[in-house]
Amino acid sequence: MFDTKIAIVLRSDLQSWQKLNVTAFLSTGIAGQHPEIIGEPYRDRAGNVYNALSIQPVIVLAADPDDIAAIHRRSLERGVISSVFIEEMFSTGHDTANRAVFSEFAPEDAKVVGIALRADKKIVDKITKGASMHR
């Protein structure tokens, strides 16, 4: 049905609240980069209007720190623009602080806790190799 795939990969050792927080943030990055994935608003039988949601399913995967670092590296090597959340962003409280702390790291020393990407299905599968379905 879709030529592309959306995948969110979370570092497997995160606490539950962190996994949920990172997933929410990374999802907004994908929607911001690909606004065409957002469908029409939802309406219930009573006529209430709700926010539009993604038209495309999202797969959530888990990876250990070494595998998520490799996934990050492969996304850069393939030129796939991704959403990335690093460990140090848990200590900030807003977007400006997140971007400031993010800018202090390079790919080789960033402690990536989550990464989200949307690309051709085969490319996403190759990039996310080593990750498993999140449980």
Q: Domain limits of the chain?
A: 4-133
Q: Tell how many helices (H) and how many strands (E) occur in the chain.
A: 4, 7
For residue 80, count CB atoms less than 10 angstroms from its CB and return exposed for 0-12, middle for 13-18, buried for 19 or more.
middle
Helix, strand, or coil here: 64? Answer: coil
CA-wise closest residue to 116 among 78, 65, 72: 72
What is the tens place of the pLDDT at every residue in 100-135? 999 999 999 999 999 999 999 999 999 999 999 988
Six-digit token pair at 49? 């209007």
CA-wise closest residue to 68 among 24, 131, 110, 134: 131
CA-wise closest residue to 110 among 126, 131, 87: 87
Alpha carbon distance 21, 18 (integer Å): 5
User: Is 90 exceeded by the pLDDT of residue 1?
Assistant: no
Rounded to an integer, the average pLDDT of 18-32 is 96
Helix, strand, or coil here: 44? Answer: coil
Length of the chain: 135
Considering the entire predicted model, what is its pTM? 0.94
What is the tens place of the pLDDT at every residue in 57-66? 999 999 999 9
What is the tens place of the pLDDT at every residue in 40-87? 999 999 999 999 999 999 999 999 999 999 999 999 999 999 999 999
Rounded to an integer, the average pLDDT of 9-30 is 97
Structurally, at CATH architecture level, domain 4-133 sits in 3-Layer(aba) Sandwich (3.40)
